[in-house]
Structure 1
Amino acid sequence: MNQLPIGLVFPGQGTQKEGMGAAWRESPSWDLTAEISEVTGEDIPRLLLHTPGEQLRRTDLAQLAVFTVAVIAHAEAVRRGALGGRVVACAGHSLGEYAALTAAGALTVADAAALVAVRGRAMRDAAEAREGTMGVLVAAPLAEVETLVAAVRASGADVWIANVNSPGQTVVSGSPGGIDALDAEAPAIGAKMIRLQVGGAFHSPYMAPAAETLRRALKNAPFAPTHLPVVANADAEPYTGDCDWPELSTRQLTSPVLWERSVATLTGRLGCRRLVELGPGRTLAGLVRRIDGDTEVVSLDSPDALDVQPDASEET
């Protein structure tokens, strides 16, 4: 009997909600909140249990909250033997890449948390310095979105592709005027714009100041020389330590998250037969089903979910 090869995937900012840590409070892995509090200077238990939802939208707090729940979920799944297979690779969406690096053994929880704190504060500062926003264009092919974004930018508006999430779902980022212009033109390609309630134009050149701040922190981060493959957002390529993670992680802030291609790398080249989403919500599971309907995907978003995983062994 061999265990099914699985990939672990971790969600990003936007999946946070008020009281998101309550379900995990009684689990042994809740002890990680003390460690993360110490290295970040934030009261993580309070953040996960008592911070109002509106305040949790603040970029730096949202990122710490989502990261913490993701690493708790992973630690608890490992402790209970609930992953249901042999982990062969990891990936995370935007912020989720730091939880993926932790799960893969590239960073310790403490080192990753410290980087998440720097990243969140730097992105918040950059957003406050230059107003920006984001939206999702749905129901249009990527090639047509790319053409439209290029045309709107050529007209003088600041707008860029921020996330290529799945077929028919592309996130755009830029100035409020740029997003307004895309919204007005979206029907021309059969697309609909859904505005996102975010604090800035993430994954765009507007984040260049944050990228420079993060670069300095990343240069001193002790990445392990070898680890499980992690598929990088910046190029959808898998890396096992033979790479420049500081450069890849810095580039991620100002370039698109190539999630659709990343999932294809996991299920194709890396041979993942099941993807397991760890952290708050089930956003990534929905995207995976749109990208590759033949790959099984499960979301371990609560302790109860850890108790109902099927046996994932397969005959040799």
Structure 2
Amino acid sequence: MIRLGRIDHVCLRVRDLDEAAARWCLQFGLEERARGAGRALLACNDEPCSLELVEGIEPPGFDHVAFELHRTCSLADAREHLASAGVPADEHDGALWPSDPDGRGIELLPYRAPERDTDRWPQHARPSTSVSVGGPRRLGHVNCLTGALGENLAFYRNVLGMRVSDWLGDGAVWLRIDSEHHVMALVDKGEAHFHHLAFDVVDIGKMRDLLDHVARHGRWVSWGPARHGIAGNIATYVRITEEPCHVELYCDMERLEDDHEPRVYPDDRYSSNTWGPLPPRSYFRFDPVAIEWERESRETLGEPLPREGS
């Protein structure tokens, strides 16, 4: 069998590596860890890598999400499991590379033991001479839109071993690999698109500081702050136009017991945001019209968002 240990990083394709690496570090408080062969590795706090940027592959945007295997699951175990499930996977750079039913890239990395005993301490207690103040604590999860919810659920649950946390009606599902409510969410919107990567921040005060900061750099909130009924986290979503996606800043994620029974929430406003409104319809789109409507708050001003392609 296969067992995942944690989410490791998200990889995005960018047009200009120098520009993108500097932008992500400056605007979201990340640190560049390594650079070479058209790639840059960026990290939150003292993580080895949270965000990988790769240059020269069109179009810009999502490339893959990487998961580290649990210490009880070897790369050979994962290879055998994928083969028995009939899932093809390339093997290179010391990792396995399957794809989900929507064609999204997955990297499965072998477990890497901490180099020092202090690396196992709580993050705030680890001695450091290089950690900068101000950024998120870690990469926490990803969210993907899909037009094939059942096929993708089967892949992430049966092939990658994730467990269902909760449902929103029958149109969205949240999946976990440990006690944190989710490491991935899948939302049925009729088509596939990577929606957001999520950075864990210590509390709503840190979220406020980061939002003030990104606003000064011309970013805007696509939705939030919101208190999700499902998962319980406080979340704010920031639009990224260069690599089409959103960044979620979140805190207070629900923790689940090992024997948690998945819940089915009604598909209503309260399940999505106990504090107030549902997101604007532009939040689920990445075309230029939706971005303009969102940037200028045209939906809020009473102008209906045109249908995509109209």
Q: TM-score, normalised by structure 2?
A: 0.30
Please state which structure has a larger fraction of its residues in strand: 2
Identify the structure with bigger relative contact order (alpha carbons < 8 Å, sequence gap 6+).
Answer: 1
Please state which structure has a larger fraction of its residues in helix: 1
Q: TM-score, normalised by structure 1?
A: 0.30
